A = this chain, B = another copy of it.
Amino acid sequence: MTPTLAQLGEDRLIGMLTRRWPRSHRTLAVGVGDDCAAIRTKGSRRLLLLKTDAIVEGVHFQPGVTAWKIGWKALARCLSDIAAMGGEPDAALVCLAAPAGTPAARVRGVYRGLDRCAARFGVTMAGGETVRAQALSLTVAVTGWVAGSRILLRSGARPGDALCVTGHLGGSGGGHHLTFCPRLKEAQWLAHHTRPSAMMDLSDGLAADLPRLCRASGVGASLDIASLPLRRGATPRQALADGEDFELLFATRPSRLRQILHRWPFPTPITRIGEITARRGIRPSLGSHGYDHFQQP
């Protein structure tokens, strides 16, 4: 019997599907396994960042949600990944899938949200496609740029690094997941001023995402659960498991963290939540918390 996607789980599924994909190859500087792919461009030291992501009605948003928030979320998710690499977004494409009976006004509302998010973060809406489907979904692809010397990967964390997050965690389902601001400015500042050892964005919850950063870096982490910056009303468990925080998780030398905290020009808080360890695994053990796209009820 072949397993289903739910039995396999997201990380093993992706591992299986992309086993033969290059991690680095000809023009490919960064392949599958980081927040964005990065492509070398002839005659330039800049890398082209590429990211695609989708949101589906009934999974990532409910049918009753205000239309513009759907568009905002779809684009902002991709921008959060551009941020995670220290990049600057450039252009976006959007593929709308919708039932033929969808009111045109609702779709127009969705695109207003896309336009609003694009205008806010300096993204050019460059094109896309519309197809018929059984349910409303929006797939966005975004390009961005980053200097090759400034790119931030998941794979650079070193034992002794301080582990930090921006903003607050948990309870994103209360509304934050629809209207959040991707941490582009904060991430670009970090990339320029005090380059962290490793960075990623938190989309599936700390309990799912921190192990990914540790695996990519070949390290472990000890987490200070009591220090987690909780969103108002959220519990530590939610901060670990809810997902869709779209904050930055980064590791940096402790001396650099002091510089960062001293010069940080943004209202977004930075919280030290633990330390990178040579010993693999996460302590305390987080069990199987975190959002898995195929293992939800």
Question: Which A residues are closer than 8 A to B by beta carbons?
Answer: 2-8, 10, 13-14, 16-18, 20-22, 25-28, 31-34, 36-37, 39, 41-44, 46, 48, 50-56, 58-60, 90-91, 93-108, 111, 115, 124-135, 137, 139, 141, 143, 293-296
| Complex contact B296–A125 (CB within 8 A) | no
| Complex contact A143–B104 (CB within 8 A) | no
Enumerate chain B residues within 8 angstroms of A46, measured Cβ to Cβ: 42
A171 vs B264: C-alpha distance when bound (angstroms): 62
Can you offer 19 A-B residue contacts whose CB atoms are under 8 A? A2-B106, A3-B104, A5-B102, A5-B104, A39-B90, A39-B126, A41-B44, A51-B127, A52-B94, A53-B131, A54-B133, A58-B134, A59-B132, A100-B296, A130-B293, A131-B293, A135-B135, A141-B141, A143-B143
Enumerate chain B residues within 8 angstroms of A111, measured Cβ to Cβ: 17-18
| Complex contact A101–B4 (CB within 8 A) | yes
| Complex contact B296–A132 (CB within 8 A) | yes
Counting chain B CB atoms within 10 Å of each CB, which of A43, A52, A59, A96 scores highest? A52
> Contacts A4-B104, A5-B101, A54-B139 given; 19 further ones with Cβ under 8 A?
A2-B103, A2-B105, A5-B102, A16-B104, A21-B127, A28-B124, A31-B124, A32-B127, A39-B143, A50-B91, A50-B127, A53-B129, A54-B95, A54-B133, A58-B134, A95-B139, A100-B294, A132-B293, A133-B137
| Complex contact B104–A56 (CB within 8 A) | no
A217 vs B13: C-alpha distance when bound (angstroms): 46
| Complex contact B130–A59 (CB within 8 A) | no
Chain B, residue nearest A110 (CB): B17
A6 vs B33: C-alpha distance when bound (angstroms): 39
| Complex contact B107–A17 (CB within 8 A) | yes
Top 5 A-B pairs ranked by shortest CB distance?
A37-B126, A141-B141, A2-B105, A6-B100, A37-B127
| Complex contact A108–B50 (CB within 8 A) | no
Known contacts A2-B105, A41-B41, A108-B16; decide if A295 and B54 are in contact (CB<8 Å). Answer: no
| Complex contact A131–B50 (CB within 8 A) | no
Enumerate chain B residues within 8 angstroms of A137, measured Cβ to Cβ: 97, 133, 137
| Complex contact A56–B295 (CB within 8 A) | no
| Complex contact A97–B132 (CB within 8 A) | no
Enumerate chain B residues within 8 angstroms of A134, measured Cβ to Cβ: 56, 58, 134-135
The listed residue (B3, B13, B103, B141) touching A52 by CB distance below 8 A is B141
Enumerate chain B residues within 8 angstroms of A6, measured Cβ to Cβ: 100-101
